[in-house]
Amino acid sequence: MEKHKDHKPHQCSECLKCFSKKGSLVAHMRVHTGDKPYQCSECLKCFSEKGSLVAHMRVHTGDKPYQCSECLKCFSKKGSLVRHMRVHTGDKPYQCSECLKCFSEKGSLVAHMRVHTGDKPYQCSECLKCFSEKGNLVAHMRVHTGDKPYQCSECLKCFSQKTSLVAHMRVHTGDKPYQCSECLKCFSEKGNLVAHMRVHTGDKPYQCSECLKCFSEKGNLVAHMRVHTGDKPYQCSECLKCFSKKTHLVRHTREHSGDKTC
């Protein structure tokens, strides 16, 4: 008589999970015992399953047996190929239960859920600031280390973030991809477009805490605050006179040089 396909006579004594084959139970028990009998001969890293060791060995051999039928890109793991195929199919099987937004990878959904939960599990060891994504913490750490791994191929200037390099490259290319929908003026950076739009909207989001005067740009608020603080950070190198605004220093310098141009 043929055995029933759902028959699972082998049960784990720890969690009571059942298996159809004894070998599967033996492999499962390593979850509880922590046993890792399969060791890599190259780096001595150990694994609980033989299949995991086989997949790991491709790190050393460079073997990539799984090929995409669309673009022919190759992968060392079958799971990597499965995830890659979603680039071509557009499949997004992981859906957020809060806002129903969909993602192609489980990790992306996990990171997205922190938008709703407010969870920030990645903490800076220097200033204790917390982040919801590991990549943001890595980028933040460069504030403390001073590391600037992104270099411009034209002028060799270095940047701590890739987005800063991308924006900088427009200095060389002259590209201005951000266009004002009102006057069609173009800008190289999105932030400049956002600031420019206030010319049309009249929005002044930056308010002085002393006199409540409002400004459309943060820099103007910073300059205005010197009226209250008396700060004069711009100093003439000739007579050492100080000014609260850079433009005042420039005009003063022209008086020394005799330059009357505007």
Residues 6+ apart with CB under 8 A from 217: 195, 198, 206
Kindly report the pTM of this predicted structure: 0.53
Do the domain assignments include residue 139? yes
207, 213 Cβ separation under 8 angstroms: yes
206, 215 Cβ separation under 8 angstroms: yes
Residue type, position 186, single letter? C
- How many Å apart are CA 214 and CA 204, to the nearest integer? 6
Q: What pLDDT is recorded for position 238? A: 87
For 25-81, how does the pLDDT look when each residue is reduced to its tens digit (9 = 90+)?
998 999 899 999 999 999 999 999 898 899 899 999 999 999 999 999 999 999 999
Do the domain assignments include residue 141? yes
- Does position 113 have pLDDT exceeding 60, yes or no? yes
Structural domain count, the chain = 2
Do the domain assignments include residue 124? yes
Residue type, position 142, single letter? R
For 174-200, how does the pLDDT look when each residue is reduced to its tens digit (9 = 90+)?
999 999 999 999 999 998 999 999 999
36, 48 Cβ separation under 8 angstroms: yes
- Does position 2 have pLDDT exceeding 70, yes or no? no
Same domain, 71 and 111: no
Domain residue limits at 115: 92-145
Do the domain assignments include residue 133? yes
Radius of gyration of the chain (CA): 30
Q: What pLDDT is recorded for position 81? A: 94
CATH of the domain at 123: 3.30.160.60
- Does position 3 have pLDDT exceeding 60, yes or no? no
29, 11 Cβ separation under 8 angstroms: no
- Does position 1 have pLDDT exceeding 60, yes or no? no
Same domain, 100 and 137: yes
Q: In 3D, which of 145, 112, 114, 113 has the Cα closest to residue 127?
A: 145
The proportion of the chain whose per-residue pLDDT surpasses 90, expressed as a percent, equals 79
Do the domain assignments include residue 35? yes
Q: Which two tokens stand for residue 154?
A: 């034209």
Same domain, 36 and 61: yes
- Tell me which of 94-98, 218-222, 244-248, 256-260 is least confident: 256-260
Same domain, 102 and 132: yes
Do the domain assignments include residue 150? no
